[in-house]
């Protein structure tokens, strides 16, 4: 047998699933979507649960991210999973492993960041665990949400012919992380307006709850998820669960002016590659029948609805495994985008 | 401001509670008991959520505990929180931070241990997260359970005059941990039968679900919790929430023959101190009105009901802070047992 590096995250999950029950009364969805989903008795709602773990030096660096940003971010990534189902968050549970030398002001600032999003999205903090760490900081958040039965958006329901849509822009967070790395190495001491924007997109992702809830009311929106690992890693999850292929128009990918500007200054940066492979955007990715496209909400920053962009189309599956066809100006291009594996 | 060492776990929780909402529709209990507790609409049940985090080199040592034992234990401590409310577990969510060099057989064995208790207690594994760690292994489990409304047992309802009862024996797990430490230092290479028993009590705690559920049906059982940090740390949580004092009869503490035998061989070991301060017993601690004592279930290993021992009595609070009076043969003794602080 190999090491975890070979096995990867999905291998571990497969192993655990093979060994344990995955059924309970009222269960609608177990492992494999953004949230688990179940109902209680005749209740009108499905309840949603998701959990995410952030580890120092893997998901964040203490010198690069303020404790406020880490607190905010650790809840944001979980709220994003609720948004991806079209749900509303109810409560969160926060576990922290912290080294004993950490300053009290650190936890105060972390708490402020966590509380900001908690209060903004009317979510209760109902419990958790606080333990000592001998090394890295670890943050684990579990979130509970709900969605009216019938309004839930899951990954396995994309239909051939659907258009593929993403919210806002892609790749900004990836660039923000690289800029934070550069600054740590003091390559770039001064900061441009564009860099500030990209850093903000990395540090303080906006869970798309308002958008997810609006889309949950449109029956023509078939499959949905959030982009946490990057388009090239996440889209195949919809495709394989829905047994469909997809074609993505690379020239249609929504890329911010700020990302284009920063890429134009660096020979090694490609905005297209960042938009396709860069993770941590926490934008929504969904499929919709073409005839329902006019039902999509208008962008409105005030109510938290970002712009939406059609980037491709779902097609019927040709082989045993889902395939993404890449096109530029409607012409096929051969690209081998590498997905991200946490254990590499 | 000081460091986390000074602040301690309860200080961190106080800080977070001050900053966040702790209310949601249907909430019955937030932070401060073994589980959060809430109901949905007219449902007959309260739902229970608890979460625990285990960190390598803090809660376990890889060389001392097999991955099977760690897997079992990480679920057991959460099931124990459900037992402490008189509840039944429904589903768990498992998050793991693992170093990439870890062998695949490690995760297989961990999964086997986790699956054993999952299947034994008819609990579904519904989700989680698997991420890379650059150092220590971290396991975070969140558990969902339920209890019929009215059957829940909480911490704040102890009444003056109640008897104080614990299940099975205390201090075994503490001795087991010390024996494991000794073996690591090769002080004791051979193992006696007693040592095997104590190690087993440490490695494979039994969540007292059957007992908790039986006690939930006895209205005279007033307050309940599980002993995770040790009697001297945990009993005051019932006392302060119930605004009562307590008297504990030290000579009544249930101590196993195995623990007595091992203590008799070591000049520095006191079975009494271990029973009072040693954590990780995961036995139930509850108060019951004296007139209902005959309703307690008979010990029956087959159906998972351990022996029960009356160890003291609840009395009305004399000062502003709860006090435990220690007695031996009904005579007051002055003891200053030190509670355990994870951040020291």
**Mean pLDDT of all residues belonging to chain B:** 90
Name which of A253, A278, A295 is nearest A338 in CA terms.
A278
Q: Residue A34's pLDDT is what?
A: 84
8 A C-beta contact, residue B230 and residue B295: no
Q: How far apart are CA B235 and CA B224, in angstroms?
A: 10
**Mean pLDDT of all residues belonging to chain A:** 90
Q: Residue A217's pLDDT is what?
A: 97
Asked whether residue A65 carries a pLDDT value surpassing 90, the answer given is no
Q: Averaged over A13-21, what is the pLDDT? A: 72
The confidence band for A344, taking pLDDT boundaries of 50, 70 and 90, is very low
Asked if the Cβ–Cβ distance from A95 to B135 is below 8 Å, we say no
Q: Residue B1's pLDDT is what?
A: 46
Q: Averaged over B176-194, what is the pLDDT? A: 78
B-chain residues within 8 Å CB-CB of A36?
A: 91, 93, 126-127
8 A C-beta contact, residue B45 and residue A40: yes
8 A C-beta contact, residue B60 and residue B54: yes
Q: What is the percent of chain B where pLDDT is above 90?
A: 68
Question: Coil, helix or strand for A274?
Answer: helix
Asked whether residue B18 carries a pLDDT value surpassing 80, the answer given is no
Considering the entire predicted model, what is its pTM?
A: 0.90
For A332, half-sphere exposure in the C-beta direction (CA atoms, 13 angstrom radius) is: 4
φ, ψ (nearest 5 deg) of residue A170:
-110, 150
Tokens (6 digits) for A298: 């208008």
B-chain residues within 8 Å CB-CB of A128?
A: 13, 16, 31, 51
8 A C-beta contact, residue B158 and residue B266: no
Q: How far apart are CA B329 and CA B344, in angstroms?
A: 34
Q: Averaged over B170-194, what is the pLDDT? A: 82
Interface test with B, best of A94, A138, A341 (most B CBs within 10 A): A138
A33-42, A107-116, A127-136, B301-310, range with the lowest pLDDT: A33-42
* Higher-pLDDT residue of A283, A341: A283
Q: What is the pLDDT of residues A290-314, one digit of tens each?
A: 999 999 999 998 999 999 999 999 9
Interface check for A102 against chain B (CB to CB < 8 A): the answer is yes
Asked whether residue A3 carries a pLDDT value surpassing 80, the answer given is no
Asked if the Cβ–Cβ distance from A140 to B95 is below 8 Å, we say yes
Q: Residue B65's pLDDT is what?
A: 87
Asked whether residue A84 carries a pLDDT value surpassing 80, the answer given is yes
Q: Averaged over A240-262, what is the pLDDT? A: 97
Q: How far apart are CA A211 and CA B266, in angstroms?
A: 66
Interface check for B189 against chain A (CB to CB < 8 A): the answer is no
Strands B284-288 and B163-167: antiparallel
A197-201, B145-149, B333-337, range with the lowest pLDDT: B333-337
Residue pointed to by tokens 């890295």: A136
Tokens (6 digits) for A82: 């609720």
B-chain residues within 8 Å CB-CB of A105?
A: 1
Asked whether residue B38 carries a pLDDT value surpassing 50, the answer given is yes
Q: Where do the structural domains in chain B lie, given as residue ranges? A: 4-148, 163-332
Question: CB under 8 Å to B302, separation ≥6 — which residues?
Answer: none
Q: Averaged over A136-159, what is the pLDDT? A: 95
The confidence band for B344, taking pLDDT boundaries of 50, 70 and 90, is very low
Q: Averaged over A240-247, what is the pLDDT? A: 97
Q: How far apart are CA A51 and CA A94, in angstroms?
A: 10
Asked whether residue A58 carries a pLDDT value surpassing 60, the answer given is yes
Question: Coil, helix or strand for A172?
Answer: helix
Give B205: exposed, middle or buried? Use CB within 10 Å, 0-12, 13-18, 19+: buried
Q: What is the pLDDT of residues B267-314, one digit of tens each?
A: 889 999 999 999 899 999 999 999 999 999 999 989 999 999 999 999
Q: Averaged over A211-227, what is the pLDDT? A: 97
Q: How far apart are CA B122 and CA B210, in angstroms?
A: 13
Asked if the Cβ–Cβ distance from B51 to A128 is below 8 Å, we say yes
Q: Residue A68's pLDDT is what?
A: 94
Interface test with A, best of B10, B16, B38, B90 (most A CBs within 10 A): B16
Name which of B333, B259, B25, B248 is nearest A122 in CA terms.
B25
Tokens (6 digits) for A75: 């809840």
Q: Averaged over B52-70, what is the pLDDT? A: 91
8 A C-beta contact, residue A207 and residue A80: yes
In this complex, the residue of A31, A94, A102 whose CB is nearest that of residue B126 is A31
* Higher-pLDDT residue of B294, A38: B294
Q: Residue B342's pLDDT is what?
A: 47
Q: Ranked by mean pLDDT, which of A179-183, B14-18, B34-38, B45-49 comes out on top?
A: B45-49
Interior CA angle at B204 toward B234 and B120, to 5°? 105
A-chain residues within 8 Å CB-CB of B59?
A: 131
Name which of B94, B4, B50, B31 is nearest B228 in CA terms.
B50
Q: Averaged over B195-207, what is the pLDDT? A: 94
Alpha-carbon distances, residue B72 vs A21, A126, B250 (angstroms): 15, 25, 32
Q: How far apart are CA B55 and CA B58, in angstroms?
A: 5
Q: Residue A115's pLDDT is what?
A: 92
Asked whether residue A55 carries a pLDDT value surpassing 50, the answer given is yes
The confidence band for A187, taking pLDDT boundaries of 50, 70 and 90, is low
Question: CB under 8 Å to A122, separation ≥6 — which residues?
Answer: A89, B21
Q: How far apart are CA A337 and CA B61, in angstroms?
A: 40
Interface of B with A in 251-310 (CB under 8 A): none
Asked whether residue B173 carries a pLDDT value surpassing 70, the answer given is yes
8 A C-beta contact, residue A76 and residue A203: no
Q: Averaged over A159-163, what is the pLDDT? A: 98
Asked whether residue A173 carries a pLDDT value surpassing 60, the answer given is yes
Tokens (6 digits) for B264: 């008799």
CATH of B163-332, one of 3.40.605.10, 3.40.50.10860, 3.30.930.10, 3.90.650.10: 3.90.650.10
B-chain residues within 8 Å CB-CB of A40?
A: 40, 43, 45, 47
Interface of A with B in 76-95 (CB under 8 A): 90-91, 93-95
Q: What is the pLDDT of residues B71-126, one digit of tens each?
A: 999 999 999 999 999 999 999 999 999 998 888 888 889 999 999 999 999 998 88
Name which of B204, B210, B220, B213 is nearest B165 in CA terms.
B220
Q: Ranked by mean pLDDT, which of A93-107, A153-167, B15-29 comes out on top?
A: A153-167
Asked if the Cβ–Cβ distance from A124 to B35 is below 8 Å, we say no
| Closest-CA distance of chain A to residue B108, Å | 7
The confidence band for B21, taking pLDDT boundaries of 50, 70 and 90, is low
A178-215: string of b/e by CB count within 10 Å (b at 16+)? bbbeebeeeeeeeeeebbebbbbbbbbbbbbbbbbbbb
Q: Residue B343's pLDDT is what?
A: 45
The confidence band for A139, taking pLDDT boundaries of 50, 70 and 90, is very high
CATH of A4-148, one of 3.30.1330.10, 3.50.50.100, 3.40.720.10, 2.40.50.140: 3.30.1330.10
Q: Averaged over A152-159, what is the pLDDT? A: 96
Q: What one-character DSSP code corresponds to residue B286?
A: E
């Amino acid at each position: 047998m190999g090491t975890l590096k070979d096995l990867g995250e999905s291998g571990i999950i497969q192993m655990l699933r093979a060994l344990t029950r995955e059924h309970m009364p009222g269960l609608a969805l177990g492992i494999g979507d953004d949230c688990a989903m179940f109902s209680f008795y005749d209740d009108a709602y499905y309840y949603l649960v998701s959990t995410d773990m952030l580890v120092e030096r893997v998901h964040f660096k203490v010198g690069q991210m303020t404790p406020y940003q880490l607190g905010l971010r650790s809840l944001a990534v979980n709220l994003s999973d609720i948004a991806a189902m079209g749900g509303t968050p109810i409560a969160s549970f926060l576990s922290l492993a912290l080294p004993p030398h950490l300053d009290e002001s650190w936890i105060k600032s972390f708490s402020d960041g966590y509380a900001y999003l908690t209060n903004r999205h009317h979510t209760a903090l109902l419990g958790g665990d606080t333990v000592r760490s001998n090394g890295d900081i670890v943050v684990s958040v579990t979130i509970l949400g709900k969605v009216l039965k019938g309004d839930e958006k899951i990954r396995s329901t994309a239909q051939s012919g659907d258009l593929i849509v993403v919210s806002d822009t892609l790749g900004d967070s990836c660039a923000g992380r690289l800029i934070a790395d550069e600054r740590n190495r003091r390559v770039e001491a001064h900061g441009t307006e564009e860099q500030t924007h990209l850093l903000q997109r990395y540090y303080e992702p906006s869970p798309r709850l308002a958008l997810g809830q609006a889309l949950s009311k449109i029956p023509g929106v078939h499959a949905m998820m959030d982009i946490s690992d990057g388009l090239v890693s996440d889209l195949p999850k919809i495709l394989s669960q829905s047994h469909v292929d997809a074609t993505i128009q690379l020239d249609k990918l929504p890329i911010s002016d700020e990302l284009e500007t920063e890429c134009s200054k660096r020979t090694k940066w490609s905005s297209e590659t960042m938009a396709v492979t860069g993770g941590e955007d926490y934008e929504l990715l969904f499929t919709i029948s073409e005839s329902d496209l006019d039902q999509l909400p208008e962008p409105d920053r005030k109510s938290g609805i970002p712009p939406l962009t059609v980037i491709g189309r779902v097609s019927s599956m040709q082989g045993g495994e889902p395939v993404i066809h890449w096109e530029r100006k409607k012409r096929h291009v051969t690209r081998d985008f590498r997905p991200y594996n946490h254990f590499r």
